[in-house]
Amino acid sequence: MVSTEMRDKSGSGRSRKGEPEVQLEVFFHGIADKGQCVGRTAAGETVFVVGPVPGDRALVRVGRKRKGFYRGMVASYLERSSDRVEPPCSHFPTCGGCKWQHLAYPAQLAQKERVVRDAIVRIGKLLPQEWLPMLGADPVFFYRNKMEYTFSNRRWLEALLPGHEEDRFSPVLGFHPPGAFDKVIDIHHCHLQMEPANAVRNTIRTIALKQGLTFYDARMHQGLLRTLLVRVTTLGEIMVALIFGEDNPDVTRSFLGEVQEALPRITSLYASVNTKVNDSLYDLDMELVYGDPTVREKLGEFTYRIGPKSFFQTNTLQALTLYEVVRRFADLKGTERVYDLYTGLGSIALYLAPWADRILGIEEVEAAVEDARMNARDNGVTNVDFLAGDVRALFRPEAVAQWGKPDLIITDPPRAGMHPEVVAALMAVGAPRIIYVSCDPATQARDLQFLSANYHILRMQAVDMFPHTHHIENVALLVAKDKE
């Protein structure tokens, strides 16, 4: 291990926070949250750094050890990983939307599978009877159907040339870099969203600049143009929602009219005014300017109508892969009663409907339940019911007595996992089988550990929904110990 004291400008050998700095030689072996790469020194010390990829060896500048590990930044590379690749995006790595474009995709899959296994074994202290290989995505670029962009009057610049301080104050449309709430990177070609998303975003920026409209100032909370939502479906339909920071109907009407004329491929155009401090769209009134109120998307044999606030898997093609894993794990014979907890707009419930006798979906967000019911009607599905309300309140033994005991429960909770009361209810209901779909292996492992008192993990399979990010979907099939 190399340990060299670093000198600041005063020669004190301390960082700006007054902490001593050293350089450690680190071999990087894995990925972690927020684009961090994890490595170890020869002495076994753990170090987290943004920038390296597994297989790199580097000298890393670190401060004081905290909670048993170091965080640092690369001072110099000693050896480059054979899994390093040239990222295709000109905005990488500054924008932060993709964390791992510089890591070859097969290596990304291997690392994500390792993350899942480590979580289940180390956190859950569990060992599934069968590990199935992780399913990769195809394509690995231009796979998202929805993106939200930010208008800003403060441009993010990695370096500011002397005498050009005003360069930072220019209207831009794109993404916040990590840790900068008030600045935005001007995005011209994003490799995440399906086309023609880039053309839509860039055309809207051009129109706004030509009309001299003000872009939002997040510090002062003023400016006309605030956020932009773009949805693109595999059926060729496009939804655009423009969110304004000020209520100025005459100006916005002219702007929206030119957008409509310049982008005739848009099938749904919405507008809204947001004068809140936060950018959330879900509590805003959305006005349909022209076109259809929804766009259509297809998964398998089902067509879904999606509104501006709808919850829908953002990788359409890989969602089909995920739902096929759920269907195979479910192994339905047509006689089963199924509960789908955290059902969203009912996409899993509707997908499984042809193979089940009856499905009950439970979802907290009323708007999502309305979407689910609409999509069930549109697709002629009559054996699925949806309840709106907190899963904690609705999924209880009393409700099961009313709706019937399930043969299978599917749970697809948010990143935080299931509330302990929901886990307790699962144990009390005692369904013969549970399928747990998770977007966070760590919280899934925690919940599975509690469930392991009554259930074995029969099999598990991860699905990569979001290439070049650390996000992972993992599906686990549980079988009751007294039903084996």
Question: Do residues 83 and 103 touch, judged by C-beta distance below 8 A?
Answer: yes
> How far is residue 171's CA from residue 201's CA, in Å, rounded to a whole number?
14
Place of tokens 């000020």: 246
- The DSSP bridge pattern shows strands 473-480 and 384-388 to be unpaired
Helices (H) and strands (E) in the chain, counts: 10, 23
Core vs surface per residue 356-380: b (16+ CB within 10 A) or e: bebbbbbbbbeebbbbbbbbbeebe
Phi, psi of 160 (to 5 degrees): -115, 115
Phi, psi of 422 (to 5 degrees): -70, -40
Q: Is 78 helix (H, G, I), strand (E, B) or coil?
A: strand
The total number of residues written for the chain in this structure:
484
Q: Which residues contact 141 (CB under 8 A, 6 or more apart)?
A: 88, 191, 192, 467
Q: Which secondary structure element, helix H or strand E, spans residue 209, and what is its range?
A: helix 197-210
Three-state secondary structure string covering 8-58: CCCCCCECCCCCECEEEEEEEEEECHHHEEEEECCCCCEEEEECCCCCCEE
Q: Which secondary structure element, helix H or strand E, spans residue 455, and what is its range?
A: strand 455-463
> How far is residue 352's CA from residue 59's CA, in Å, rounded to a whole number?
52
Question: Do residues 186 and 167 touch, judged by C-beta distance below 8 A?
Answer: no
List the catalytic residue out of 37, 95, 98, 439: 439
> How far is residue 455's CA from residue 430's CA, in Å, rounded to a whole number?
9
> How far is residue 255's CA from residue 270's CA, in Å, rounded to a whole number?
13
* 37 labelled catalytic: no
> How far is residue 100's CA from residue 242's CA, in Å, rounded to a whole number?
30
Question: Do residues 52 and 74 touch, judged by C-beta distance below 8 A?
Answer: yes
Place of tokens 């509707």: 350
Question: Do residues 175 and 187 touch, judged by C-beta distance below 8 A?
Answer: yes
Question: 10 Å Cβ neighbour count for 250?
Answer: 7
Question: What are the catalytic residues?
Answer: 439
